[in-house]
Structure 1
Amino acid sequence: MKKTILFAPATYNLAETTRCIQIAKAIKKSARCVFLSYGGEFEFLIREEGFQLHRLKPSITTKKTIHLYKIHHGKKLGELFSRNEIDKQVHAEIELIDQVKPVCIVTGFSPSTSISARVRNIPLVWITQTTWEIKTALNNMTIEYFDKLDFPVLQVLPNIIKNYLSRILYEIYSRLIIRPYNQVASKYKIINFKHFEELWKGDYQLQAESLWFNRQKTKSNEFFIGPLLAEIERDVPKQVKNIDRRKEIIYLAMGSSARKELLLGIIESFRNTDYLVITPSKSYFKDQEYNFPENVIVTDWFPAQIINDIADLSLIHGGIGTIMNAIKAGKPIIGIGMMAEQEANLLAAERLGICMRISRNRLRMDELHSLIRLALADKNMLDRARHYSKLIKKEDVNKSISSFFSQVFAVN
């Protein structure tokens, strides 16, 4: 009989949902893959793949999703979930664990499983990335300070002071998030989380990136499986199929974390330029009609790798999936981070010599276009991008995933 693995993705988030799905697809022949969900925009992707899905309560509403994104993106301080919500999540998860009897739980970003798994003594596997380790990065100055502190009043301060302020801000952010989790954990007399980052440590960590990307040293409980890039079949929009390949093509993606006004400003800056810009950001602009530049194609979402393969440059926010897709395509990157994790990803790519980074608070369109021209003309940057593209393409992610579950949980 196949062993059961329980997946707990944050189905309101595309990246976390697809990462769990890809891992499940890699081991579905040797394991019984079961999913739990509290609802969300991307829950349907699990059903499309034919996996067993258990919908738990309390359901995540659209209003709650907006709140969660604001917390994740550092746009507000507060709790992800209330004590009452977490208590109900943990109770529902314990009941499901008792029902399906998994050998482990795999989660993208469902922190309640850090309690329920421990209550039932089930090994917990977190899908993570090294750039989530913001506390360490701030302490060793890998991240000097948060871009959100890079505004005129504070720009005159030394970086060491802005680093200190960033560490204080992150500590406040952490304490507000973990407080209700610790309140529920104390009810079950288990671990007291000292910091937000302890919520996602688990028993094992699957690092969804290449070992050379950010941190070469590994810890005893972490496994680098390589980038988990969404493999979702979608029709390519007609206007993208028929684009003029004679022009330099720019892929513009600011993800769910971008400010609409910022994205509009970037789009407008390409008016009357010789570039052809493709941006799958139509969902931002459904509230009214917009007069977009003729050389900017605004589409519904479709897989990034399709655009990356034809683009000459990626202008992106720096989410791990977006940046790994850009690296795989072997093209230069211009990065505008919208949150700390994205800033860390872009810093890592910058250290590899394949990215130019610009602070969103210092963003001027003339400077942005100057960087675009520099990146497109930089042969060395293109050569380095192609080098890392070859490295990514050599990685057998499915084999790495299968190897982990075989070695650790005897899933064969």
Structure 2
Amino acid sequence: MAVIVFAPVTFNLAETTRMIEVARALGPSHRAEFMGYEHDFVHLISDAGFPYRALEPAWTAAQRTQALDFDQGRAIRSPFTRELVAARVDAERRLIRELGASAVVIGSNITSLLSARAERVPLFYPVPFALTGPQVAQTRRMHLVHGSGILARAADRVATTAFRWLYTRAPVAPRAFTSVARANGVPPLRTVASMLEADVNLLTVMPWELDGYDLPDDYRRVGPMFAHIDAPMPSVVGELAAAPEPLVYLGLGSSADRRLALAAAEVLGDLPVNVVAPIRHYLQPADEVPPNVHVTDLLPAHRLGGLVDAAVLHGGQGTVQTACATGVPFVGLGLQPEQVWNIEVCVGQGNALRVPPKRVGKPDFRAAVERVSSDPAMREAAARVRREFAREDGAAASARLIEAAVAS
């Protein structure tokens, strides 16, 4: 029986659930083993029935905040010290040897790029197309500057050119990934793009997202992949769906923050809608939200089709694809360039609007929510996108590619 090691960042909801979906799709001759460092979403792995190995060293709360700020471009310092990277690579190499792993499937756990290659085990990465090397290298406008006017488009092209150089050519990767790579006999990681590229990159996107792009041989489109959380739907969702007011879903994933969650809830509280909001993990005990905003824990969002009328999302690929697959038009905020791109793809399809997170307290956010809740054209577009998504199974396609590579 071939052992496949899954290495998500386990405080990232989207990639933890993405790994679970691929593991579920593996055939019976393959055994999935999960590893990770933090504990936030490990319960989802255990609930899905997969064994989990907790490795060390884990990040402190301050290091996690620093990592998130680094990922979203708010900071230039990262928590990847040489000591931490070296210790994690050693721990991962020991686990790969202990399990006799035939392949490693990663999320954004960068140290696996070194440990799997050092152990000469094939490395797979189910990943959005946004912010991959080919996407950044070939995209004229990354939507880094919001707006559709001449000046905004020109400014965005300039920003995109600078971003492209910084991302694909500048040696800005933390130095630890060069020194530890050399110590383990593998090529160093120098650019941001090199930190996000495996031996085989499985693009979890729809065909239209790749229109006009040329893909290298180590990139394969597999299709959408999003969470199917095995949890009961809270009864309040059905009650709110039966009410005469539109029902809005507020989903901010695991990469937003308390300030944004409260700001969005406050604006939605002023609208003639009901809101179901799985944002409890962001709030403090003393926080209050408007009475029409019903805070919950994580929901089986893939079952919200036909229950909610619209959504407000942070823009992570998992939440965006869940909305697409369930036919729900949405307002996307976009906290970093990959999320902005995910939203803009849907804006092009007609089932979404984008409002920058800094505008959540402004009238344009309110107007966008009102439009996605009531515009028949957006509902029609969302229904068309849902039909297209029904033909796709990114997890199964990924599993078949991994199995074929292991067999060969």
* Fold conserved between structures, TM > 0.5: yes
> Could you list the runs of 5+ residues in structure 2 that have no partner in the other structure?
none
Q: What letter corresponds to residue 201 of structure 1 in structure 2?
A: E
* Partner Cα distance (1:214, 1:146) in 2: 22
Give 3-state SS (helix, strand or coil) of 1:190's partner.
coil
The answer to whether the 8 Å contact 2:246/2:308 transfers is: yes
What SS does the aligned partner of 2:344 have? helix
Q: How does 1:2-401 map to 2 (within 5 A)?
A: 2-133=1-132, 136-137=135-136, 140-145=139-144, 158-164=155-161, 166-167=163-164, 175-215=171-211, 217-243=214-240, 244-290=242-288, 292-401=289-398
Looking at structure 2, the residues matched to 270 and 19 of structure 1 have their Cα atoms a distance apart, in angstroms, of 29
Kept after mapping to 2: 8 A contact 1:27/1:402: yes
Encode CA deviations 1:225-260: one digit per residue, 9 max, x unaligned: 222221222232332232243211111122333343
* Deviation, structure 1 residue 323: 0.3
Structure 1 pair 140–255 and aligned structure 2 pair: CA distance change class (3 A): same
**Alpha-carbon contact 1:138-1:163 (below 8 Å) kept:** no
Aligned alpha-carbon RMSD (Å): 2.7
CA-CA distance at 1:68 after TM superposition: 2.1
Identity of aligned residues (%): 25
Task: Please say if residues 330 and 388 of structure 1, whose CA atoms lie closer than 8 Å, have aligned partners that are also in contact.
Answer: yes
- SS for the counterpart of 2:233 is coil
Closer, same or farther: CA 170–355 of 1 in aligned 2, 3 Å? same
Distance change in 2, residues 1:329/1:213 (3 Å): farther
Q: 2 CA distance for matches of 1:170 and 1:410?
A: 35
Kept in 1, the 8 Å contact 2:129–2:135? The answer is: no
Q: Spell out, residue by residue over 1:140-192, the C-alpha distance to the aligned partner (whole angstroms, 9 max, x if none).
A: 32314256xx9xxx9899444444554576579x7444421111112223212
Query: 1:36–1:233: structure 2 CA closer, same or farther, 3 Å change rule?
Result: same
State which drifts further: 321-330 or 220-229: 220-229
Residue 266 to residue 345, structure 1, CA distance change in 2 (3 Å): same
Query: After the TM superposition, which of the residue ranges 209-218 and 345-354 deviates more from structure 2?
Result: 209-218
Q: CA contact under 8 A between 1:80 and 1:177: conserved in structure 2? A: no
TM-score normalised to structure 1 length: 0.88
Q: Which amino acid aligns with 2:268?
A: F
CA contact (8 A) 1:138 1:145 kept: no
Secondary structure at the counterpart of residue 127 of structure 1: strand
Q: 1:376 deviation in Å?
A: 3.6
Q: 1:309 to 1:220 in 2, by over 3 A?
A: farther
- What CA distance in whole angstroms lies between the structure 1 residues aligned with 2:225 and 2:181? 31
Check 1:258–1:98 CA distance in 2 against 1; reply closer, same or farther (3 A cut): closer
